[in-house]
Amino acid sequence: MAKKAVEEQIIRTEYSEVMQKSYIDYAMSVIVARALPDVRDGLKPVQRRTLYDMYELGIRYDRPYRKCARIVGDTMGKYHPHGDSSIYDALVVMSQEFKKGQPLVDGHGNFGSIEGDGAAAMRYTEARLQKITQQVYLSDMDKDVVDFQPNFDETEKEPVVLPVRVPNLLINGADGIAVGMATSIPPHNLAEVIDAVKAYMKDNTISVKGLMKYIKGPDFPTGGLVVNKDELLSIYETGTGKIKLRGKVEYETGKNGKTYLVITEIPYTMIGAGISKFLNDVVNLIETKKTSDITDISNQSSKEGIRIVLELRKGTDVENLTNMLYKKTRLEDTFGVNMLAVANSRPEILSLKQIIEYHIDFQFEVATRKYQTLLQKELEKREVQEGLIKACDVIDLIIEILRGSKNQKQVKACLVEGDVSDIKFKSEKSKKAAANLRFTERQATAILEMRLYRLIGLEVEALMAEHDITVANINRYEDILNNYDSMAQVIMDDLDATKKEYARKRKTKIENAEEAVYEEKKLEEMEVVFLMDRFGYAKTIDKNIYERNKEAAHQEYKHIFTCMNTDKICVFTNIGRMHTIKVSDLPMSRFRDKGVPVDNVCNYDSSTENICYVTGLTSLMGSQLMFVTRQGMLKQVEGNEFEASKRTIVATKLSEEDEVILIAAADCMEHVVLQSHDGYFLKFLKTDVPQKKKTAIGVRGIRLGQGDYLEHAYMLENRTEYNISYKDKEMSLNKLKLAKRDGKGTKVRI
């Protein structure tokens, strides 16, 4: 009889519930298994897996380097199936001394630079474990100190956490972006962190303030200065806050009597592209006339360290210039602290004390498992040793048993259970003695495997000495496991040994510094001419230079007008935005100089928007602007509405898929002419267009046919002749018939 087919069941579920559950599952996966470090070892999964794979491959500090491609491929194939770039990036960062307080990987080859140069491809670089990584991060892996879990395809086992003996979360810091949360923990000094851990172990009621007697503050590998010392206590108590950083500045006098401002250490946040950005910012300060004190700038940085040299004019107020660099560049920056880590399988913002508490609890767990394993081994060793010592005393009897037995099974049964059946003895006395033997299974095996040379007198003495050592070890391990103080002392001894071998001097100076006060030189107010070409390059020139080159200027430049050097330039674009530029931010140039791209001095994006109109902010005040869009919407807006402190504002509201085609000053104009793509022209009075707010869409100017759109719009001044080229023929706009707004217009055929 055929089985009845299982009826299909459709389970109806609310779509939003499925999406919510799926997103939460994804978010937790990213938070716990990808982006955030574990508070116990301070490592993200990719870092942990990479280090463990190197350990498994035997790429130790005292062995030859191995290709990074081999390490990355092995890690990806066994433990981390998320792409080779994430693994190699993690490997590179763990080897960079300028990013990590304590590098964990010894890189050989091009592993990038502090100035942002990327590492060479993994096929060219080599790596191995650092000595500290092997001895402090990966030791005792063979003593069952941490749990192991199946890898992604359950063909391998990987550690849930590494048995790191120091609070790596503090020493190397961490940064990572998860879903809805991010971690940012600064690196600290190894010796200071170890001292703080020991202080907590001696007194677990110690406060964060007490711990800060040992941990003065962050210790960045780039050095520099932390200048808000008084705020550190709050940051370490709450786990969040902002650390204010400054680069280290020195002053040197050259042989020629010139003064040089030399930057020898940079803020940690400046590493990478930040150095180039700093140099560009300094050049920009010079070009925009914010300072005339800097005559030359050179980056003399090398493997020995950072050295950025600014050559100064004689008589420069060095302190004021330094404060200007703090204010106007990233020589002073902030490091946002958010000490978020995975604790007990969930993300948690931790204080300094909580991180140390979690670390010490983990150390006691690791030490307990380690000494339980060692104790078990010593107990087994003692059992064997006692069996061998006992065997030496009755060796003649054991030899007699061996000679009288038919097989190994009979011998073992006799040694363990005293079974003498089927064994031939020389005498009843020997048989009776053999029947009383009661060795353990392990002892019997050791006796059978014992070599004859162990019967030499000196060997027996050595066995007795080994037994004494084993008993002493057992007593010591039992004391450590049963006595809190003994275990604490063992942990502290390990910390002392680590500190003695790997401690480094503090690089970052902690202090309270006054706010950088920079007295900006007031601009001498003067009238200048603004020029912008059709490619978006802008500059200002002296008015007299403009007068001498007036004809050439109007041929080469699209936007030309006079303004004050204290004014702002307003740039209106086709997507309805207005960007502002300080005239003082534009270079005062010679006529033939190129200028700067407008993208560099405001938020204008040439890839997504086009410039429709440019004017000075002062000129806008009290005037009227006419807006015309592709879909035929019009409005007049008062210029005062565009006065704003923001660098970018919405200049007009647009319908979907609409864009601005004309923005023009409307004060002196009398007529508006609209030209559609299909050849319809409509001329009407400017007064027909109502005044609206900048947030309004406006009113309809022309009734467009299906698929038609406005191509051009013109503003006509009274008694002025306006001619345009239409279909390769000249056409006068003044001759168009005057009509009303919102009409269909007249189709022009030429």
Q: Is 697 among the domain residues?
A: yes
- Model confidence over 312-344: pLDDT tens digits? 988 888 888 999 999 889 999 999 999 999 998
Q: Sign (positive/negative) of CA torsion 57, 62, 66, 71? A: positive
Whether residue 405 is found in the same domain as residue 261: no
The confidence score (pLDDT) of residue 62 equals 93
Q: Are 648 and 603 in contact (CB under 8 A)?
A: yes
**H/E stretch holding 364:** helix 352-393
Residues in CB range of 10: below 8 A, 6 or more apart: none
Q: How many CB atoms sit inside 10 A of residue 382's CB?
A: 16
Tokens of 682: 């409509």
pTM: 0.74
Low-confidence ranges of the chain (pLDDT < 70): 1-6, 27-33, 452-458, 520-523, 750
Domain that residue 477 falls in? 358-501
Which CATH number is 151's domain given? 3.90.199.10
Set 124, 137, 268, 546: catalytic member: 124
- Model confidence over 381-427: pLDDT tens digits? 898 888 888 888 788 788 878 878 888 888 888 888 878 887 888 77
124 catalytic residue (yes or no): yes
Q: Is 514 among the domain residues?
A: no
Domain boundary among 313, 330, 347: 330
Q: How many alpha carbons lie under 13 Å from residue 245 in its C-beta half-sphere? A: 30
Whether residue 630 is found in the same domain as residue 578: yes
In three-state form (DSSP H/G/I as H, E/B as E, the rest C), the secondary structure along 240-278 is EEEEEEECEEEEEECCCCCEEEEEEECCHHHCCHHHHHH
The confidence score (pLDDT) of residue 520 equals 67
Beta strands in 46-199 (DSSP E): 66-67, 105-108, 126-129, 148-150, 157-159, 174-177, 182-185
Whether residue 598 is found in the same domain as residue 720: yes
d(CA 739, CA 747): 13
Q: Is 722 among the domain residues?
A: yes
Whether residue 142 is found in the same domain as residue 283: no
Domain boundary among 137, 163, 189: 163
Is residue 140 left, alpha or beta, with left meaning phi > 0 and alpha meaning psi from -120 to 50? left
Q: Is 604 among the domain residues?
A: yes
Total count of domains within the chain: 4
Which CATH number is 462's domain given? 1.10.268.10
Closest CA to 297 of 509, 392, 307: 307
Whether residue 60 is found in the same domain as residue 152: yes
Q: Is 203 among the domain residues?
A: no
Q: What is the DSSP string of 167-197?
A: -HHHHT-EEEE-SS-EEEE----HHHHHHHH
Whether residue 492 is found in the same domain as residue 620: no
Domain boundary among 110, 143, 163: 163
Q: How many CB atoms sit inside 10 A of residue 441's CB?
A: 12
Residues in CB range of 403: below 8 A, 6 or more apart: 424
What residues does 129 pair with on adjacent strands? 105
Which CATH number is 291's domain given? 3.30.1360.40
Residues in CB range of 390: below 8 A, 6 or more apart: 439, 443
Q: How many CB atoms sit inside 10 A of residue 191's CB?
A: 19
Whether residue 147 is found in the same domain as residue 94: yes
Closest CA to 536 of 580, 575, 594, 483: 594
Whether residue 590 is found in the same domain as residue 687: yes
The confidence score (pLDDT) of residue 1 equals 46
The confidence score (pLDDT) of residue 593 equals 86
Q: How many CB atoms sit inside 10 A of residue 347's CB?
A: 18
Whether residue 423 is found in the same domain as residue 540: no
Closest CA to 662 of 691, 627, 709: 627
Q: How many CB atoms sit inside 10 A of residue 225's CB?
A: 20
Tokens of 28: 């937790």
Q: Is 207 among the domain residues?
A: no
Whether residue 554 is found in the same domain as residue 653: yes
Is residue 679 left, alpha or beta, with left meaning phi > 0 and alpha meaning psi from -120 to 50? left
Whether residue 486 is found in the same domain as residue 596: no
Angle between helices 273-287 and 318-328 (to 10 degrees): 120
d(CA 151, CA 148): 9
Q: Is 460 among the domain residues?
A: yes
Beta strands in 619-668 (DSSP E): 624-629, 633-638, 648-650, 660-665
Whether residue 482 is found in the same domain as residue 601: no
Q: Is 67 among the domain residues?
A: yes
